[in-house]
Homo-oligomer: A and B are copies of this chain.
């Protein structure tokens, strides 16, 4: 094996069979597909608990929800912060679902890691190097979202920033890029999936919610993601999307999620992967 000098830690030739990231015994990578679902923002203990229970029934294994929200405007709802983390943890205790939530400040990594099973780095922070280094020193797995105009090289080098600190549990996530002045909010760049699969041993998942900005396109693009080799999806889900404080237009219902997971099982089978059953609590 030769060392890839540009990508010494992410290069596929280090682990030709790929890496499995372990999120509290939920496996991401290789032959199992992961479905992460939940609301854009944690809004209340009741909201997140009800969503958690419904996505578990639908077949998801990881609960997503924002407690620290990076919002374009300082005047928009910024999330419930630590309280939101507590609500997420309570929902996890109730359902057995694992928790993924975003961290946006290097000073909060320790706090968020106490509550979350997986730390999310959002698109705006893909090149926030002090934050990448800090999560690189955490013992929790990291989901790294691609920046809005990041090249594939920049994406992989951002993962190197995390891994060089010792944390090798990194999942890459395509979430749409900014391209053409277009009818959709972003351009979901699925070619990144087979491209990265060839370059790196890390798992790659897809966020069709931000990637299209349109709930009606989420099922089709989720199927496409699995068909081209993604290891799973992360999808904004709510029992009543129209009542979401944020991202309502791109959020699917928990009923739609259940239907979607059935479709994904069929596609996964067609391409030789499977979706695992939810873990027992």
Contact = CB atoms under 8 A, between A and B. Distances in A.
Contact of A227 (B72, B153, B227): B227
Interface stretch (A99-107, A110-118, A233-241, A250-258): A99-107
A212 B154 CA distance: 19
A28 B72 CA distance: 27
Interface in A174-191: 177-185, 187-191
A211 B225 CA distance: 16
A152 interface: yes
A179 to B, nearest CB: 3
B194 A271 contact: no
Nearest to A126: B124
Interface stretch (A15-23, A43-51, A55-63, A213-221): A213-221
Contact of A153 (B70, B148, B183, B266): B183
A143 to B, nearest CB: 18
Nearest to A162: B74
Copies in the complex: 4
Interface in A115-141: 124-125, 127-131
Nearest to A9: B74
Given A153-B183, A191-B212, A224-B225, A104 B130 contact: yes
A127 B69 CA distance: 12
Interface of A: 6, 8, 70-75, 104-107, 124-125, 127-131, 147-149, 151-154, 157, 160-161, 164, 177-185, 187-191, 193-195, 198, 211-212, 214, 216-217, 220-221, 223-229, 263, 266-267, 269-271
Given A74-B160, A74-B161, 8 more contacts: A6-B73, A8-B75, A104-B129, A178-B180, A180-B181, A193-B220, A194-B217, A220-B228
26 contacts: A73-B160, A74-B157, A75-B160, A104-B129, A105-B106, A107-B107, A107-B130, A152-B183, A177-B187, A178-B181, A179-B180, A179-B181, A180-B181, A184-B191, A187-B187, A190-B224, A191-B217, A193-B220, A194-B216, A194-B220, A195-B214, A220-B228, A263-B270, A267-B267, A267-B271, A269-B270
